[in-house]
Amino acid sequence: MGSLFGVVNIPNVVWIDEEGVIVRPPEPGWPDGDQHMPADVVESMPRLGRAKNAPPRPEGAAGARGMQAGQDRAVYADAIREWAAKGPDSAYALSPSEVVARSQPRPREVSQAAAHFELADHLWRAGQRDRAIAHFNACHRLQPDNWTYRRQAYSLVSNERIGGPAGRFAQGPVRGEEDDWPFESDFRSQIATLGEGEYYPNTM
């Protein structure tokens, strides 16, 4: 999904019609209107430490609240239903030129980041942990807004240290072990730098 459509976060939805034409490029989307942060997120995030070199929280940042802001979740499923019923006459169906305008740009750095990520994933599976982490850090620097890259790397190391999966947002150093955290940031610290709508942009 990342290489084909430019997806950088989850959940993301791409609308494609019966002719194989993209009607809406990747955007945040949910099957219902639940605006509440899952309990496991609230429980797991406070237990984590903070990367040594994590960026400071800027004034006015939305922080974890930003994960619930931006796209209006309550109307998304209804918008899909309307498009299914009306097709190109739906108010939510975009023209080809609008789809192109909204699509993510693909500068050289994005391609380089993708290469580093694929190599990192391969090296991790091959048991070459330190080399994998170097490439994960490279892809984070090259495409800092790609949350898929960040969360994959953070999760692998977090779960390794905890001894198994411990919630989908357990993506940071265990408290007391921050000095051994191999990444330049962590999920909670990085989220704290965002303003409203920067994690889930409002596209509708």
Q: What is the pLDDT of residue 37?
A: 58
What mean pLDDT do residues 112-137 have? Answer: 97
Q: What whole-number percentage of the chain has pLDDT above 90?
A: 54
Q: Number of structural domains, the chain?
A: 1
Is the peptide bond prior to 11 cis by the omega test (within 30 degrees of 0)?
yes
Q: Is the pLDDT of residue 188 over 90?
A: no
Predicted TM-score (pTM) of this structure: 0.85
Which of 204, 203, 202, 191 has its CA nearest to residue 62? 191
Two structure tokens written together for 193:
């730098």
Cα separation, 133 vs 190, whole angstroms:
18
Min mean pLDDT across 9-23, 70-84, 127-141, 170-184 is at 170-184
Min mean pLDDT across 56-60, 78-82, 197-201 is at 56-60
Q: What is the pLDDT of residue 170?
A: 73
What range defines the domain where residue 185 resides? 1-204
CA dihedral of 71, 76, 82, 83, whole degrees rounded to 10? 70
